[in-house]
Amino acid sequence: MAKMRGMNNGGVFGTGIFGMFGTVVKCDSKDDSMYCNLAKFINLIFMFLFLAFIFYIIYYFFKTIKKTKGR
């Protein structure tokens, strides 16, 4: 496969996305520092948004199928 110009970001198909949703917090469970608490909280928010996006895609897909079958 020929290398495309400007596609040297790495990650999934050269997009720069490495699939690390929810896996980048490297704190012990006993670590009670402000950084670890904030990182865990932000990680929780991102995971919630990611799951909400997945559910929205599923909802939109089924809504579109229902609309096309109803014709």
Q: What are the extents of the domains in the chain?
A: 28-69
Q: Is the pTM of this model over 0.85?
A: no
CA distances from 15 to 6, 10, 54, 67 (A): 11, 7, 19, 33
- Residues 27 and 42: their CA atoms lie apart, in Å, by 13
- Residue 34, pLDDT above cutoff 50: yes
- Residues 39 and 63: their CA atoms lie apart, in Å, by 36
Average pLDDT over residues 38-63: 90
- Residues 57 and 48: their CA atoms lie apart, in Å, by 14
What's the distance, CA 55 to chain centroid?
12
Contact indicator for 23, 47 with CB cutoff of 8 Å: no
Supply the mean pLDDT for the chain: 76
